[in-house]
Every structure is written in structure tokens, then in C-alpha cells.
């Protein structure tokens, strides 16, 4: 028999305007009630109710339904919830050995309603921990004498320190949630009381019931937090090392579910609070205060009248009310109206971001034009670059520099026009689109509105979101933006939109036309180290709650951290790794009482972070016949790629594997033709082609590859194969080839060079016609790499193939 089926209410999309924290005074006044000496017992199977947590339950079993009815009548809507011991049933009646644990949580019944099938739906709010002193059966129901349980006195500093460690861990886990972890983050950061915090997290952990019960029974807040830290630590490991995709997916789903729960809880509390007031009067006041433009005001009046005529129990009532709430809370006329101060803007940009001189200059220029000509609606700034290079954070800085609010909408995977423009009110659960939702969130009509990942916007039968986006961005149309839900026009012309993308190739051309593109390349290791020193380490020290001088990470350690524990164009993973190191230090301070500052030596990194994650690709590899090293570039950054060639008996066919795209396949054909045609010049002896097939493979077969820039590496691999001369392993190359053997220029030079240096390459062959790119190659890269510009294949072969005796191949 299953006791207490959990029921999920429909997903709450509304963003709560008012957050209620567990320690919020309004929250605790939700019918706190005195603790009576006796309470009816509700045993539940497979779940533990923690203080701070709200649970909706649907009860179908007659005795439980009866129990709730009785609780509602006789004990001021209170119960004690306890968890059934494994293998026991609630029908057992021996008072000397009740089938449940004797530590439980007082549950206040916030809502109860009868369902047509005789079952009952409940909303319970977990109050304090209780011990069940003695239990008796009365008319088939357990009644227990209860006593409140208080935490022992503890060292506040210690508790606070471990509180922060746990918070850090949890936030890190949350950052694995692709969308919307923000709200939970904010909520968690605001729970100040460590005990409440521990209970809140416990309620959302995905662990065995016995473990949960142990957490409930643990009265020491410190020990409770330590147990949680251990559990989260395990979860982190799973997340990091878990290789089975299945496991990963499961984790993700569970996290989204937790996230869902939180939203749901907030929604319910809000509803609870909201219902006490006189809706219509309150809404009317709000609408008056919101200074609506005439058409919107007329609409609001009409709807207010409708609301007055509707009884609160009618389904329509909530629909109208929600609609009016939207009208009342949108920033129709509220704005920051801040003046543009270029000097201040420059200071803020410099303070928040290291380097990027050119980008900052262009931003300042853009702002200067805006200042001179506020009415001019210029192009939309668009930051293009690989992940983690500071696109979003530059947007935030711009907002701060201008004294504007900031909001962000991720367009990744948005396929439905209604996401941008809302659903008509006739839909159940309809809401305005994300543009208006974002504006309500910031509460001002002139924010910086970042449209993230415009390159990932989708399109299908539900309409084309990029068309709606075009209207949003078009100054000729956006002062009367129409949202399906709102029905009345909203003026978006004061909003400053900034877009970001990893690549421009997938941005619809009409959209691209509106954008002023600023490219942000990946960082070199030196730049990363500098960013870490100035920004990431100080920030993470603060987040971990460590004093500023508690830990230093010298440059040589950072170099190793960057080279061997991260592989990314940006600095996001680097920041995560720094955070991990600092958290371990924080934990040592708490557990071992260490006070002295720690200097993190390179040798100590394995202790903090485990084995190197990314050993250099070239380490331990020898020169080989038939294997060349190409440099590739994708929106995620640069990377080295091996090209392997072998020959086998056949009819002169070419076989290609490694998930290659059409362009790459064609360049392989061209490469083979070139090698055959110029065999003699290359130094290929005899008729080696007849009766042979060629098999070309580009490892990492799981990743699709395409583009013409591997052309030269394909030629080198084939020339090596047929001539028997090995390719120098520390030479990497990039360049498109023509059938006549000329090299054509290719893109992503800087990213490719950074990847080459990281992989341990010594020499890079680049097409001569990429020469102008070298200007933007930092000195640091020139020092680490020998860059050779080559005009044709012959030259490239001279540098790439080993001279001297022939190898076996
Ligand atoms: N030049 C820099 N100086 C200081 N911090 C930086 C710099 N560049 C990036 N960062 C930091 O790196 C982190 C990641 O940056 P951000 O989130 O802005 O990346 P992004 O380019 O938006 O990536 P994505 O494409 O994945 O959204 C942020 O914490 C940001 O502050
Ligand atoms: Mg971003």
C-alpha cells in the first residue's frame, strides 16, 4: 500500500515578484500555532518531511483521510508527520513498537480540499522537529505525546563557515542546470539561518529515506551541514566523473524537478498570502500607480469591472486577476533615466574586465554616439565569440556603467513564437512572452536587455521566433510591440538590446543585418592567468567566505591549472576549478582549525583536484608515417585534430571515416588527386597507387567535422603515407588547398594557435594569405610557437615531413 501519493501541480511559470524566505516574518505568521502536547500521527512511506518545506499531498487511503478530518477538527489543523520504517506497515497496532520513526516534523495544514473520488488534497508546511514520546491508538489512529527538539549550542563561526561551504557546493551543482537555476541560487543565498538552510536543502536532496531520516534526527546544525557537505561532495563527483550518459541525464532531470518544487512552493505561499486582501481594490490602486498609457488604461478598467462581477471561486476569476496583475506590474513609464557618463562607463568596464582594449573602445564609441544622439536608433550591439569569454558579463558591465537595470533572455532552443510574444489569454496558463516577462522583472522600461545565443534560435511549426524577434529589434515597429497575452501595445523603444552569439553563421540574415558585430576571441594562457589573479580568485575567495589573505595561487600553479585542468577558450571552467581548490582550503580551515595562509603549489594540485584532466595531446606520441596534425576551429574554440591515412589492397577507392562533412570529404578527394598527380615531385617512388584503396580517418569519431581547412593536413598525411617519410609530430598545419597546390586562407587563426600551443605543438604552418591575421596574434603566442607562412603544398611538405632515411609505414 502506498501512503501519501505526491501530486505535482501544473508548472508555475510565473516568476514570483515577492520572494518568501523561510525566516521571513510573514511566512512564519502563516498560522504558526502553539505546539500542543498531543498530535495525531501521519505515517508516510518513502519520504521525510523537513522543517521549512511545503508538500502537497493527495491522500486516498480511508484511514488517512479520516485522520486529516480529525486533525482539522480537533487539533488546530496540525499533525506530526513521521516516516514509516522500512518493511513496516501503518496498520500495525502495537504501541510499544510503533512502525514509524519517533522523530518527525510538525506539519501545519495550510489547505485541504475534498476531491470527487473521496480522496483529499492537502498542502502541508513543515514546522519544527518533534520527538514522539509515547504513542497510542485511538479509533484506528495513532496519537502521540510530542516534544519540540532544539539544536544544541554551537560555535557560530564554525557553523557559518560550513554553511558557506555547503552553499558553494550546492551552487556549483546548480550551475549544471542549463536554464533557470538562477532563481534557486538567489533563494538559497538569502536563507541566512544555517539551520533553516540545512533543512531546506535536506528536503531537496535525492538520497535514501534512511539517510534523510538521519538528517532529520541530527540536532546539531553543524553535524547536519557536514553530512550534507559529504552527500553533495559525492554528487559532485558523480557529476564530474560519471561517464554513463544515462546517469547524467537522470541527474539533470532530478535537478530540474527540485527546481520545479521550489517554484511551486513559492507560488503556493504567495497564493496563500494574496488571498487575504481585497483583490479588486488592491489591483485598482496598483493600476493607478503604474501610469498606464490610455489604451492600456481603458483595457484595465474594463477588466477591473469584469473582476468585480466575478466570484472568486469561478475559474475566470484567477485568469482576469493574473491579467490585471500583469497590467499593473509592467514598467509602462518607470525608467532609470540615467545620463550616459563616458568616464564612469570606462572605469566600470576596466574595473570588471581585464584586457579587451579594442572591445571596450568600441563599446565606448557606441555609447558616445548614443549620448550625442539619444533618439537615434543605431544597430544592435552583438558580441560574438566562444563560450566563457565574457560576453554576458560585458553586457552586465555596460548596464552598470549606464546605471541601467540588466536582464537576459536565452534564445537557445526557443522554437515557439509564443515564447517571445506570449500566448493568447484563452490558453490555460497563458502568460506574456519572455520580452515582457523580462521587463516586468527589472521593473524599468529602459534596461539593457541581453538576447543571449541568437545563433541557437530554432524554428518549426509553432511559428518562427526570429520573425517576432525582428519586430522587437526594429526601431520602426518596437514602440508598439504587440504581445498576444497583453493585447495592448507596449513601447520597447527605450530598451537597449544587446545580442550574443557563438557564431554568426547560423543567424538568420535579416537578423544579422541589424547587428553591429564585436568579436571576442578566446584568451591566451597568459591572459587567463591575469584574469584569474585580478578577478576570479578574489571573487571566489569572497564566495567561499575565506579572508582575502587566506590563500594565494601563484602564477606557476595557475599555468598548470590552465594547461592541465581546463580546455576552453574562456575562463568559466578555470573559475570552477579555482572555486574547488578554495573550498577544499575552507574545509581544512574548518575541520582542522588551520588559520595560516595557504600557498597553493603546483605539486599540490593533484591533492586538491585529482589527476590531470587534460594531459597534453602530444605527450608521448612519436613521429609517424601517414599521420598529420591539423588545426580546427569551431564556435566552441580551437582544437588540434589528427589525420590518419593507411592504404590497403583495392581498386583505387578512397574511404573516409570520423563523421566528416561534405566539404571535408571533397577536400580529401582533392588531396588524393593532388598527391597522385604530383607523385614524382613529392618523392613518391614506383607505382604505389595501383590496386590500392586509401582509408582516411579523423579520430574523435564521435564529433562531426567539416570545413576546408584540413586540406593541407590531408595532403601531408597522404604524401607521408606513399613516400614513407614520417610527419613531424610537433608541426601542426591549417589551410585549404587547390588542385594546383596553392594554399587558401582559413579562419579562426588566433583560436587555432592557442589550441596548438596548449597541445604542445612547436611549429605551425599557415597559408601566406593569412598573414594579416598575425597582427592580432599576441606576442605570447609568437614566443611559444614558430609560425611559418607557406604559399604552396611543396613548401608545407618540406617543413612537415622528416628528411633522411625512409621509415617503415
Ligand atoms: N576579461 C575578463 N575579465 C574578467 N573576468 C572575465 C573576463 N572575461 C570573462 N570573465 C569572467 O568569465 C566568466 C564567464 O563569462 P561570461 O559568462 O560573460 O561568458 P560568455 O561569453 O557569456 O559565455 P557563453 O557564451 O557561454 O554565454 C564570468 O564570470 C566573467 O566575469
Ligand atoms: Mg553568456
pLDDT above 80: residue 84: yes
Mean pLDDT of 230-257: 63
Mean pLDDT of 10-31: 30
Confidence category of residue 259, pLDDT binned at 50, 70, 90? low
Confidence category of residue 294, pLDDT binned at 50, 70, 90? very high
Q: Which atom of ligand 1 is nearest to the CA of 520?
A: 21
Residue 304 has a pLDDT of: 92
Mean pLDDT of 134-151: 87
Confidence category of residue 804, pLDDT binned at 50, 70, 90? low
Beta carbons within 8 Å of 144's beta carbon, 6+ residues apart: 38, 39, 40, 41, 80, 132, 133, 134, 135, 136
Residue 776 has a pLDDT of: 81
Q: How far is the CA of 390 from the centre of ligand 1 (A)?
A: 3
More confident residue, 596 or 375: 596
Confidence category of residue 793, pLDDT binned at 50, 70, 90? very high
Element (DSSP H or E) covering residue 382: strand 380-384
Residue 744 has a pLDDT of: 93
- Are 371 and 342 in contact by the 8 Å Cβ rule? The answer is yes
Q: How far is the CA of 575 from the centre of ligand 1 (A)?
A: 10
Report the share of the chain in percent with pLDDT over 70. 88
Residue 18 has a pLDDT of: 29
Ligand 1: residue whose CA is nearest its atom 15: 390
- Are 523 and 569 in contact by the 8 Å Cβ rule? The answer is yes
Confidence category of residue 460, pLDDT binned at 50, 70, 90? low
Ligand 1 site-directed mutation target among 571, 574, 635, 778, most atoms within 8 Å of CB: 571
Ligand 1: residue whose CA is nearest its atom 18: 390
Ligand 1: residue whose CA is nearest its atom 25: 387
Ligand nearest to the CA of 385: 1
Residue 591 has a pLDDT of: 83
- Are 426 and 323 in contact by the 8 Å Cβ rule? The answer is no
Ligand nearest to the CA of 543: 1
Residue 332 has a pLDDT of: 94
Q: How far is the CA of 174 from the centre of ligand 1 (A)?
A: 18
3-state SS assignment for residue 118: coil
Q: Say how far apart CA 676 and CA 741 lie, in whole Å.
A: 12
More confident residue, 782 or 701: 782
- Scored b (16 or more CB within 10 A) or e, 202-237 reads bbbbebebeebbbbbbbeebbbbbbbbbebbeebbe
Q: Which atom of ligand 1 is nearest to the CA of 502?
A: 25
Q: Which atom of ligand 1 is nearest to the CA of 395?
A: 18
Nearest to 664 by CA among 639, 694, 698, 689: 698
H helices within 50-89, ranges in order? 62-74
Q: How far is the CA of 394 from the centre of ligand 2 (A)?
A: 9
CA 164 to the chain's CA centroid: 21
Ligand 1 site-directed mutation target among 179, 185, 349, 393, most atoms within 8 Å of CB: 393
Ligand nearest to the CA of 637: 1
Q: Which atom of ligand 1 is nearest to the CA of 534?
A: 4
Ligand nearest to the CA of 455: 1
Ligand nearest to the CA of 396: 1
Q: Say how far apart CA 59 and CA 61 lie, in whole Å.
A: 6
Q: Say how far apart CA 661 and CA 705 lie, in whole Å.
A: 6
Confidence category of residue 266, pLDDT binned at 50, 70, 90? low
Highest mean pLDDT: which of 307-316, 417-426, 785-794?
785-794
Task: Beginning with the edge strand found earlier in the chain, give each strand of the sheet holding 627-634 in spatial order.
Answer: 654-657, 692-697, 637-649, 627-634, 731-733, 763-767, 786-790
Grid coordinates given for 426: 484563452
Q: How far is the CA of 242 from the centre of ligand 2 (A)?
A: 26
Confidence category of residue 416, pLDDT binned at 50, 70, 90? confident
Ligand 1: residue whose CA is nearest its atom 5: 353
Mean pLDDT of 253-269: 60
Q: How far is the CA of 151 from the centre of ligand 1 (A)?
A: 42
Highest mean pLDDT: which of 65-74, 466-475, 699-708?
466-475
| Residue 150 φ then ψ, to 5° | -110, 150
Q: How far is the CA of 406 from the centre of ligand 1 (A)?
A: 16
More confident residue, 562 or 192: 562
Q: Which atom of ligand 1 is nearest to the CA of 356?
A: 1
Element (DSSP H or E) covering residue 349: helix 342-352
Residue 715 has a pLDDT of: 95
Beta carbons within 8 Å of 785's beta carbon, 6+ residues apart: 753, 756, 757, 761, 762, 763, 764
Residue 273 has a pLDDT of: 54
More confident residue, 69 or 269: 69
User: How does pLDDT run across 325-367, given as a tens digit for each residue?
Assistant: 999 999 999 988 778 899 999 999 999 999 999 999 999 998 8
Q: How far is the CA of 572 from the centre of ligand 1 (A)?
A: 7
User: How does pLDDT run across 508-561, given as a tens digit for each residue?
Assistant: 888 898 899 999 988 988 899 999 999 999 999 999 888 888 899 999 999 999
Q: Say how far apart CA 472 and CA 493 lie, in whole Å.
A: 9
Q: Say how far apart CA 675 and CA 689 lie, in whole Å.
A: 10
pLDDT above 80: residue 75: no
Burial zone of 73 (CB within 10 Å; 0-12 exposed, 13-18 middle, 19+ buried)? exposed
Residue 571 has a pLDDT of: 95
Q: Which atom of ligand 1 is nearest to the CA of 527?
A: 1
Q: Which atom of ligand 1 is nearest to the CA of 536?
A: 5
Ligand nearest to the CA of 538: 1
More confident residue, 68 or 258: 68
- Are 550 and 589 in contact by the 8 Å Cβ rule? The answer is yes
Q: How far is the CA of 156 from the centre of ligand 2 (A)?
A: 37
Confidence category of residue 499, pLDDT binned at 50, 70, 90? very high
Residue 635 has a pLDDT of: 78
Ligand 1: residue whose CA is nearest its atom 19: 388
Mean pLDDT of 689-718: 87
Q: Which residues pair with 516 in a beta bridge?
A: 381
Q: Average per-residue pLDDT in the chain?
A: 83
Residue 29 has a pLDDT of: 31
Give the count of beta carbons closer than 10 Å to the beta carbon of residue 706. Answer: 16
Residue 21 has a pLDDT of: 35
Ligand 1: residue whose CA is nearest its atom 31: 393
Residue 114 has a pLDDT of: 80
pLDDT above 90: residue 74: no
Confidence category of residue 28, pLDDT binned at 50, 70, 90? very low
Residues labelled catalytic: 709, 752
Residue 700 has a pLDDT of: 76
Q: Which position has the grid cell 510565473?
A: 14
pLDDT above 70: residue 2: no
- Are 713 and 733 in contact by the 8 Å Cβ rule? The answer is yes
pLDDT above 60: residue 241: no
Ligand 1 site-directed mutation target among 358, 448, 539, 570, most atoms within 8 Å of CB: 570
Confidence category of residue 5, pLDDT binned at 50, 70, 90? very low
User: How does pLDDT run across 751-782, given as a tens digit for each residue?
Assistant: 899 889 888 899 999 999 999 988 888 888 88
Sign of the CA dihedral with 707 first, then 708, 713, and 715 last: positive
Residue 563 has a pLDDT of: 87
- Are 656 and 674 in contact by the 8 Å Cβ rule? The answer is no
Q: Say how far apart CA 188 and CA 200 lie, in whole Å.
A: 9
Q: Which atom of ligand 1 is nearest to the CA of 539?
A: 29
Confidence category of residue 245, pLDDT binned at 50, 70, 90? very low
Ligand 1: residue whose CA is nearest its atom 14: 388
Ligand 1 site-directed mutation target among 350, 359, 390, most atoms within 8 Å of CB: 390
Burial zone of 246 (CB within 10 Å; 0-12 exposed, 13-18 middle, 19+ buried)? exposed
pLDDT above 50: residue 27: no
User: How does pLDDT run across 632-684, given as a tens digit for each residue?
Assistant: 888 778 888 999 999 999 888 889 988 888 998 999 999 999 998 998 888 88
Element (DSSP H or E) covering residue 608: helix 605-609
Ligand 1 site-directed mutation target among 354, 389, 500, 523, most atoms within 8 Å of CB: 389
More confident residue, 771 or 71: 771
Q: Say how far apart CA 556 and CA 602 lie, in whole Å.
A: 7
Q: How far is the CA of 167 from the centre of ligand 2 (A)?
A: 23
What's the CA dihedral at 595, 601, 607, 612 to 10 degrees? 150
Residues lining ligand 1, CB < 6 A? Answer: 353-356, 387-393, 500, 502, 531, 535, 570-572, 575
Amino acid at each position: 500500500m502506498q501512503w501519501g501519493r505526491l501530486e505535482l501541480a501544473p508548472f508555475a511559470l510565473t516568476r514570483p515578484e515577492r520572494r518568501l524566505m523561510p525566516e521571513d516574518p510573514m511566512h512564519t505568521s502563516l498560522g504558526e500555532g502553539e505546539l500542543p502536547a498531543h498530535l495525531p500521527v501521519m505515517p508516510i512511506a518513502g519520504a521525510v518531511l523537513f522543517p521549512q518545506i511545503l508538500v502537497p499531498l493527495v491522500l486516498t487511503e480511508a484511514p488517512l483521510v479520516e485522520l486529516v478530518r480529525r486533525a482539522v477538527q480537533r487539533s488546530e489543523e496540525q499533525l506530526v508527520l513521521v516516516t514509516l520504517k522500512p518493511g513496516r506497515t501503518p496498520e500495525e497496532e502495537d504501541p510499544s513498537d510503533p512502525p514509524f520513526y519517533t522523530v518527525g516534523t510538525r506539519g501545519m495544514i495550510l489547505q485541504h480540499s475534498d476531491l470527487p473520488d473521496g480522496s483529499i488534497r492537502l498542502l502541508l508546511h513543515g514546522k519544527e522537529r518533534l520527538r514522539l514520546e509515547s504513542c497510542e491508538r485511538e479509533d484506528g489512529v495513532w496519537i502521540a505525546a510530542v516534544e519540540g527538539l532544539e539544536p544544541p549550542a554551537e560555535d557560530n563561526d564554525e557553523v557559518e563557515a560550513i554553511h558557506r561551504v555547503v552553499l558553494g557546493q550546492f551552487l556549483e551543482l546548480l550551475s549544471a542546470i542549463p536554464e533557470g537555476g538562477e532563481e534557486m541560487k538567489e533563494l538559497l543565498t538569502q536563507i541566512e539561518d544555517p539551520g533553516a538552510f540545512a533543512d531546506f536543502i535536506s528536503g531537496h536532496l535525492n538520497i535514501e529515506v534512511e539517510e534523510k531520516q538521519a538528517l532529520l534526527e541530527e540536532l546539531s546544525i553543524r553535524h547536519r551541514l557536514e553530512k550534507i557537505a559529504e552527500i553533495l561532495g559525492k554528487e559532485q563527483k558523480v557529476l564530474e566523473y560519471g561517464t554513463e550518459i544515462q546517469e547524467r541525464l537522470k541527474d539533470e532531470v532530478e535537478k530540474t524537478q527540485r527546481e520545479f518544487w521550489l517554484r511551486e512552493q513559492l507560488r503556493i505561499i504567495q497564493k496563500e498570502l494574496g488571498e487575504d486582501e481585497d483583490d479588486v481594490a488592491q489591483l485598482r490602486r496598483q493600476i493607478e500607480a503604474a501610469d498606464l498609457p490610455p489604451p492600456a488604461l481603458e483595457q484595465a478598467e474594463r477588466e477591473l469591472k469584469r473582476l468585480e462581477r466575478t466570484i472568486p471561486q469561478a475559474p475566470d476569476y484567477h485568469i482576469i486577476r493574473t491579467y490585471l496583475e500583469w497590467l499593473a506590474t509592467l514598467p509602462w513609464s518607470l525608467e532609470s533615466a540615467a545620463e550616459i557618463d563616458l568616464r564612469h562607463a570606462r572605469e566600470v568596464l576596466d574595473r570588471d574586465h581585464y584586457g579587451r582594449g579594442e572591445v571596450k573602445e568600441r563599446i565606448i564609441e557606441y555609447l558616445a554616439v548614443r549620448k550625442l544622439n539619444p533618439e537615434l536608433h543605431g544597430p544592435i550591439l552583438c558580441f560574438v565569440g566562444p563560450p566563457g569569454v565574457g560576453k554576458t558579463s560585458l553586457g552586465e558591465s555596460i548596464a552598470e556603467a549606464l546605471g541601467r537595470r540588466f536582464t537576459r533572455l536565452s534564445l537557445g532552443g526557443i522554437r515557439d513564437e509564443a515564447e517571445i510574444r506570449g500566448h493568447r489569454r484563452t490558453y490555460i496558463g497563458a502568460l506574456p512572452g519572455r520580452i515582457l516577462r523580462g521587463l516586468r522583472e527589472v521593473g524599468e522600461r529602459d534596461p539593457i536587455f541581453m538576447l543571449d545565443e541568437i545563433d541557437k534560435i530554432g524554428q518549426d511549426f509553432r511559428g518562427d521566433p526570429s520573425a517576432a524577434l525582428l519586430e522587437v529589434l526594429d526601431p520602426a515597429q518596437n514602440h508598439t510591440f504587440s504581445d498576444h497575452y497583453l493585447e495592448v501595445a507596449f513601447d520597447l523603444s527605450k530598451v537597449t538590446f544587446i545580442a550574443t552569439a557563438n557564431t554568426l553563421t547560423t543567424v538568420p540574415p535579416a537578423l544579422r543585418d541589424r547587428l553591429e558585430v564585436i568579436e571576442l576571441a578566446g584568451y591566451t594562457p597568459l591572459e587567463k592567468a591575469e584574469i584569474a589573479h585580478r578577478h576570479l580568485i578574489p571573487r571566489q575567495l569572497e564566495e567561499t567566505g575565506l579572508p582575502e589573505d587566506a590563500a594565494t595561487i601563484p602564477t606557476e600553479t595557475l599555468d598548470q591549472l590552465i594547461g592541465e585542468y581546463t580546455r576552453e577558450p574562456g575562463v568559466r571552467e578555470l573559475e570552477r576549478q579555482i572555486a574547488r581548490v578554495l573550498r577544499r582550503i575552507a574545509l581544512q580551515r574548518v575541520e582542522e582549525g588551520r588559520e595560516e595562509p595557504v600557498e597553493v603549489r603546483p605539486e599540490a594540485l593533484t591533492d586538491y583536484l585529482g589527476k590531470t584532466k587534460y594531459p597534453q595531446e602530444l605527450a608521448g606520441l612519436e613521429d609517424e608515417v601517414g599521420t598529420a596534425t591539423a588545426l580546427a576551429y569551431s564556435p566552441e574554440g580551437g582544437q588540434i585534430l589528427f589525420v590518419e591515412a593507411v592504404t590497403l589492397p583495392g581498386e583505387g577507392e578512397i574511404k573516409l571515416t570520423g563523421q566528416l562533412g561534405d566539404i571535408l570529404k571533397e577536400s580529401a578527394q582533392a588531396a588524393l588527386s593532388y598527391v597522385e598527380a604530383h607523385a614524382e615531385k613529392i618523392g613518391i617512388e614506383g607505382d604505389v597507387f595501383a590496386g590500392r584503396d586509401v582509408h582516411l580517418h579523423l579520430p574523435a569519431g564521435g564529433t562531426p567535422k567539416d570545413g576546408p581547412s584540413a586540406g593541407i593536413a590531408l595532403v601531408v598525411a597522404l604524401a607521408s603515407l606513399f613516400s614513407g617519410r614520417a610527419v613531424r609530430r610537433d608541426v601542426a598545419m591549417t589551410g585549404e588547398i587547390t588542385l594546383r597546390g596553392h594554399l587558401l586562407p582559413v579562419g579562426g587563426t588566433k583560436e587555432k594557435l592557442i589550441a596548438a600551443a596548449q597541445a604542445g605543438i612547436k611549429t605551425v604552418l599557415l597559408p601566406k594569405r593569412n598573414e594579416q591575421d598575425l597582427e592580432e596574434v599576441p606576442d605570447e603566442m609568437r614566443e611559444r610557437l614558430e609560425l611559418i607562412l607557406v604559399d604552396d603544398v611543396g613548401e608545407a611538405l618540406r617543413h612537415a615531413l622528416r628528411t633522411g632515411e625512409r621509415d617503415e609505414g
